[in-house]
Structure 1
Amino acid sequence: MSKKIVFSAAILICSCLWVNAQTPKLKKAFNGKNLKGWAVPENNIWWSANDGVLTVKNGPDKKGSILWTEKEYENFIIETDFLFGEGTVDSGIFLRTDSQQIQLGISGSLKRDMTCSPYIAGKGYPVEASNIKQLLKQEDWNTVRIQAVGNLYTVWLNGEQVLNYESENAAAKGPLGLQLHANRDMAIHFRNIKIGKLP
């Protein structure tokens, strides 16, 4: 066996080991029955769990709400299925802070779908996720996967990478949150919420 083949094989093995090291075992963050493990807002009328699905919808006063994980995370992967419900859906997943999120649905400021794009307070949407129109299923379940390593956010939609964004002021550590935007008449559903910690 030539030295070149041996070297190439060694590189391949190291690459596989690195990928495996960066792909943690994801653990269920939602048990499908109740909101255990989440910091439920006082006087909760928005969030409900039923038959494996977490649903959030606006109340009559159209107040917003965030459902935070009780645990805090530094480097992580979060993966969830989501299904748009009734109304104009404006939701997202907060990343360690309420000032940075990955959008799900229609942007209130841009008036168009910005699913999988980062919203950064003070900057708006600095970049837009790619190929969303082709990948996003408006009336069926989708799967979003978000990886945050330091200030680098990588996002996949239905198995395809659609975003790689480096935030200048990402929070180092904090909980993850699901958003119900205020002043909307909307609902969104989540299932199979899983989170894994990265080194």
Structure 2
Amino acid sequence: MRLQKTTPKKLIYLLIGLLFLSCNESEKDTTPWVSLFDGQTLDEWTQIGGKANYKVRDGAIVGSTVRNTPNSFLTTDKMYGDFILELDYLVDSTMNSGIQIRSNSYPHYMDGRVHGYQIEIDPSDRAWSAGIYDEARRGWLYNLEGKPEAQKAFKQNDWNHYRIEAIGDTLKTWINGIPAAHLIDDKTASGFMALQVHSIGKEQKEGTEIIWKNIKILTDSLSKYSMNTPLKPLITKNYVAVDEVKKGWKMLWDGETTQGWRGARLDGFPSNGWEISEGVLTVLSSGGEESAAGGDIVTTDAYGDFELKVDFKITEGANSGIKYYVDPELNKGPGSSIGLEYQILDDARHPDAKLGNHEGSRTLASLYDLIKADSNKPVNPIGEWNTAHIISENNHVEHWLNGMKVLDYERGSGAYRKLVSESKYVKWPNFGEAEKGVILLQDHGDRVSFKNIKIRPITKN
């Protein structure tokens, strides 16, 4: 057998070929991705919201616009908490769209409207693709203003690639390999994914398309695969989002100091009984006695018409409250200052839930001792955060809990005054009818925590 002589030139080609194969092997993605789309059907996906068209074409999901319908969402049937998601999309230059993550749809919330984090798809001149928007809640949380590299990374009329990491309270995004957003926010821990087809106006063309493909996810060993980002995180705890600022919201507590607050019967803030730690304001336990430790705290400013939001977290058997239209001068005796009260209570364990002249009127989110909150109210478990929302305008008052309106009433109406006459407040003339009053957080001797305390003063026309 005669061996063929290998020339130096052939040897060089052989070495180059081996090097090429070696590089290909080393660059092969061994990440254990799981596909969210089988490339053939929309099995394990469900459409919510509008009537946009979704179909499968050439191994991709195609969404197309339909006139006279709200935003449409093709949602995963499965819920996800922590994950790393990657996908590719091709969007028409005239469209607005997004990828929903940790999103939900509840009957009590805007009649089932999809809400939650949206990773924006924005082919407009604004170029905020891969920014983070809070759909049907707070609006923009992290836009791409001042981030030209990320803005320029979007490819018009071409495929774009997103990487999205949601691990704990940290959300990070990349567009075509360029870091785009870094957000610290703990509003929602889990939910579905969704592909949005935005509603269109009269001037926009019906049938405009957005296409998604290569949709894959990781849910295990995330620390091993998570990527670092050079972007400074935007922390939303005790923070007013840009769209909230435009609507007139401001922080009522700054998350760090006692500025703007004092003891209800003190010139300054209580020296004991309250704690500020890591952006959380907590009234400490003192055995359940009302205003016996640090006492109630009130705002230094008074408010007339307003909208108030407060996140609160209770412990087992706890009792507290958020009072409004409070006049600290009314009650100089023992106990709490007097005002209308959004009740905070562990309904299952505190005896107050079964007390009161009006049945159920001392339960969570009720107008204390006057009006019972809706029995179907959505309540998060002990140790988790809930959101109280109070709106008072032109004497019409609403109590909301976790996005659901649980009661409303008219201050000063005949029905309201009748309820007062049958309650513990009957001894206070014109109770709850003051034009202005301070906001109060109650010390009822149980450990209760507060954060994200925001107010929107409403100016009368």
Query: TM-score scaled to structure 1, two decimals?
Result: 0.76
Distance 1:162 1:42, change over 3 A: closer
The corresponding residue for 2:129 is 115
Q: Say which one has the larger Rg.
A: 2
Distance 1:82 1:156, change over 3 A: same
- Aligned runs of 1:88-167 on 2, under 5 Å? 88-97=94-103, 98-105=115-122, 112-121=126-135, 122-129=137-144, 130=147, 131-167=149-185
Q: Could you tell me how far 1:44 is from its partner in structure 2?
A: 6.0
2:197 pairs with 1:180: yes
Q: Which letter does structure 2 place at the counterpart of 1:146?
A: I
**Which runs of 5 or more residues in structure 1 are unaligned?**
1-22
Q: Which letter does structure 2 place at the counterpart of 1:156?
A: W
Indicate the SS of the match to 2:142.
coil
Alignment partners' CA distance in 2, 1:106 and 1:120:
19
Structure 1 stretch 130-139 or stretch 35-44: which is displaced more? 35-44
Alignment partners' CA distance in 2, 1:93 and 1:123:
17
Q: Could you tell me how far 1:132 is from its partner in structure 2?
A: 2.5
Q: Could you tell me how far 1:188 is from its partner in structure 2?
A: 0.9
Contact 1:24 1:197 in 2 (8 A): no
Distance 1:32 1:44, change over 3 A: farther
Q: Could you tell me how far 1:30 is from its partner in structure 2?
A: 1.0
Contact 1:24 1:198 in 2 (8 A): no
Q: Which letter does structure 2 place at the counterpart of 1:148?
A: A
Deviation string for 1:46-66 (max 9, x for gaps)? Answer: 101011111101123343210
Distance 1:64 1:24, change over 3 A: same
Distance 1:45 1:95, change over 3 A: closer
1:196 to 218, 225, 242: 218
The corresponding residue for 1:69 is 76
Q: Could you tell me how far 1:167 is from its partner in structure 2?
A: 1.6
Indicate the SS of the match to 2:173.
strand
Q: Which letter does structure 1 place at the counterpart of 2:102?
A: R
Root mean square deviation of aligned Cα: 2.5
Structure 1 stretch 171-180 or stretch 23-32: which is displaced more? 23-32
Deviation string for 1:59-116 (max 9, x for gaps)? Answer: 233432101111111100111101112x621111111112321111158xxx833211
Alignment partners' CA distance in 1, 2:50 and 2:98:
22
Alignment partners' CA distance in 2, 1:58 and 1:128:
25
Structure 1 stretch 146-155 or stretch 112-121: which is displaced more? 112-121
Q: Which letter does structure 1 place at the counterpart of 2:95?
A: V
2:55 pairs with 1:48: yes
Alignment partners' CA distance in 2, 1:173 and 1:45:
25
Distance 1:94 1:25, change over 3 A: same
The corresponding residue for 1:11 is none
Q: Could you tell me how far 1:168 is from its partner in structure 2?
A: 4.1
Alignment partners' CA distance in 2, 1:64 and 1:43:
5
Alignment partners' CA distance in 2, 1:176 and 1:57:
18
Alignment partners' CA distance in 1, 2:152 and 2:215:
24
Indicate the SS of the match to 2:195.
strand
Q: Could you tell me how far 1:198 is from its partner in structure 2?
A: 3.9
Q: Could you tell me how far 1:42 is from its partner in structure 2?
A: 9.2
Contact 2:150 2:179 in 1 (8 A): no
Contact 1:77 1:198 in 2 (8 A): no
Indicate the SS of the match to 2:152.
helix
